[in-house]
Homo-oligomer: A and B are copies of this chain.
């Protein structure tokens, strides 16, 4: 059986923030950690060399996309996603559920699972809890996720409750499928399976779901269906309601968040892991996150600006290039603009996490939390 070891190393005195170390078959990961998203087996625009240079120790890949292309058979045959990508660090795969639910008109949910049609060629597929585990096992990630039922925002209490019940039923089936897989698998490298809590925007449902998931028992717990449009203070409250019902000695992961100023708030609610496409997506769209606020590189005022994007940043982009150059690249539609912006943004996210870990360990996380959000969420003056 694969083991994932998690050790909490420091607790913040004023919040639920904590630091820890997650031990995987592909290295140690200091938490809280931000995981960049490699949707199709690549963090868009960045080489694996650069990811290592930036300090990425774990990344997320999307099972839905990789299942459709290149397909589980190809990935299984080349020896898993680490081999396909030539990536030495850890990998977490999602179940594919979130993408499938996003297809809206192309999917139908039953107790059995989700029937969907590929966005690429319209072909029909069924994603069940068992299949989600099976497909992920072909990818050989360090951590895999159960299939859960995502709801939209806004959502009624009744629908949230029904989705939560189905999510819990699927969690049991997922765990059974995973245990069967471990028995059959000659290679003990099958990744650990994390549970996912749902419950819409109801703190009561979130708490109930967390308690019942804990009874089923997983080596780590994720929070799904958040950051879908609800007010951010409500998101933090829901996260807090959930984490207080989860085991203290296991990692907690909020899926698909968030903006830089949000990261320490999730951590303050006891979160250890996060992932988000924003650093790379916004980089491609010409938006840079800096320690002094957002910088929209397209603006004409940057045409002759020979300063780096962020003068206090030590990333490869800021160490070498100017705003004038990045603006020229963006306006000219050059790939290098997307590359350099993504590199900067990802560094900024990882650096924020380093600061979070350091301030928790040093006992001044609350100070960091207060000043950080105000500083980074405005526009660069």
Contacts and interface: CB of A to CB of B under 8 A. Distances in A.
B44 A328 contact: no
Contact of A49 (B45, B86, B303, B320): B320
Contact of A304 (B48, B77, B86, B327): B77
Interface of A is mostly: helix
A348 B329 CA distance: 26
B303 A74 contact: yes
Nearest to A336: B42
A335 interface: yes
Interface string A303-321: 1101000000000100011
A322 interface: yes
A328 B69 contact: yes
Contact of A324 (B46, B78, B339): B78
Contacts of A74: 303-304, 324, 328
Interface in A133-163: none
A17 to B, nearest CB: 34
Interface string A66-109: 00011000100111000111100000000000000000000000
B86 A335 contact: no
Contacts of A83: 306, 322
A65 B328 CA distance: 11
A338 interface: yes
Which of A83, A303, A328: most chain B Cβ within 10 A? A328
A110 interface: no
A86 B327 CA distance: 14
A355 interface: no
Interface string A29-66: 00000000000111011111100000000000000010
B339 A306 contact: no
Given A303-B70, A339-B339, A322 B86 contact: yes
Contacts of A40: 328-329, 332, 334
Nearest to A76: B304
A84 B328 contact: yes
A42 B334 contact: yes
Contacts of A335: 42, 44-45, 335, 338-339
Interface residues of A, number: 40
A164 interface: no
A322 B84 contact: yes
Contacts of A49: 316, 320
Contact of A41 (B41, B78, B328): B328
A236 interface: no
A372 interface: no
Contacts of A218: none
A331 interface: yes
A84 B324 contact: yes
Contacts of A69: 328, 331-332
B325 A45 contact: no
A340 interface: yes
Interface of A: 40-42, 44-49, 65, 69-70, 74, 77-79, 83-86, 303-304, 306, 316, 320-322, 324-325, 327-329, 331-332, 334-336, 338-340
Nearest 8 CB-CB pairs, A to B?
A42-B336, A70-B328, A40-B332, A45-B335, A86-B320, A42-B334, A77-B304, A78-B324
